[in-house]
Amino acid sequence: MLTVLSITLLVGCSSSNKPVIRVGSKNFTENEVLAEIYSLALEDAGFKVNRQFDISSSAVHTSIVNNKIDLYPGYTGTAYISILGYTETVSGDEIYKIVKEEYKKKYKLEWLTKSPAQDSNGLAVSSKVSKKYGIKTISDLQKHASKLRVISQGEFDKRADGIPGLTKVYGEFKFKSIKVYDNALKYSLLDEDKGDVIPAYTSEGQLTSSKYVLLEDDKHFWPDYNVAPIVRSDILKKYPKIASILDPINKKLTTKDLQTLNKKVDIDKQDYQDVAKEYYESLK
């Protein structure tokens, strides 16, 4: 009986009696960096962190609901569309309000303060094309579409959140051509003048370069995908200071920051832990 009790106590706490928080992440660079930043902040505040990174994006929600992890970096747009099933176009603040209320009610999960930083859908062109035709917005792009070649990965021209959906909001895009390439090559193909327009995520590291222009979604076709920590309600109730630890980080995080963090890992090939630590230290 004593042995069983001893094992239970060892599992339930660390040797230094620090409270343990299980931090998860999705299986892509940006989310791992964010999860590491959160982990460092929690450790600085006296928590012991059990890192459970690299969870499949399709499985991370189930993991937190099933008490496999305690928190992870989420995206409001993903929750709104993929988890809750909404399709209506509403403001970023309304999306946050909806996911915050429904996650608490349906899943016993809490959304902490949302960040200005977004990893949303977008369109980018080369700076050369932007300057030549005066293209800064998707409305500008629509007006000059007949002169422009699209570099597609094979889905963008067919998906509801691609050209078909954009057409409903902005009008028809009569592009000069649409050709399919490996998505990993899209920026190099712009550099080689094999095309003029690419689908992009707004936080991609390549967008730190002045060679590319991310177009403004001036009619707000795509929903906001703001970053925010998602935490189990029971954990936040037990350790309410988690919010005061992580909220200041989220308030400072910008889309430009995400682009820079992604660039350092994906392009400059730095270790994501080092990149996260450098960014976290810069906030102090």
Checking if the pLDDT of 24 tops 70, the result is: yes
- pLDDT given for residue 10 in this prediction: 39
d(CA 96, CA 69): 22
> Which whole number is the average pLDDT over 8-26?
72
Average pLDDT (68-84) is 96
Among 12-26, 152-166, 218-232, the minimum mean pLDDT is found in: 12-26
183-229 tens-digit pLDDT? 999 999 999 999 999 999 999 999 999 999 999 999 999 999 999 99
Q: How far is CA 71 from CA 51, 85, 90, 110, 267, in A?
A: 10, 22, 26, 9, 28
pLDDT digits (tens, 9 = 90+) for 122-138: 999 999 999 999 999 99
Say yes or no to pLDDT of 159 above 90: no
pTM: 0.89
Give one DSSP letter per residue of 137-194, joined into a string.
BHHHHHHTGGG-EEEE-SSTTTSTTSHHHHHHHH-----SEEEE--GGGHHHHHHTTS
Domains of the chain: 2-118+227-282 (3.40.190.10), 121-214 (3.40.190.120)
What integer best gives the mean pLDDT of the chain? Answer: 93
Evaluate if residue 5 carries a pLDDT over 50: no
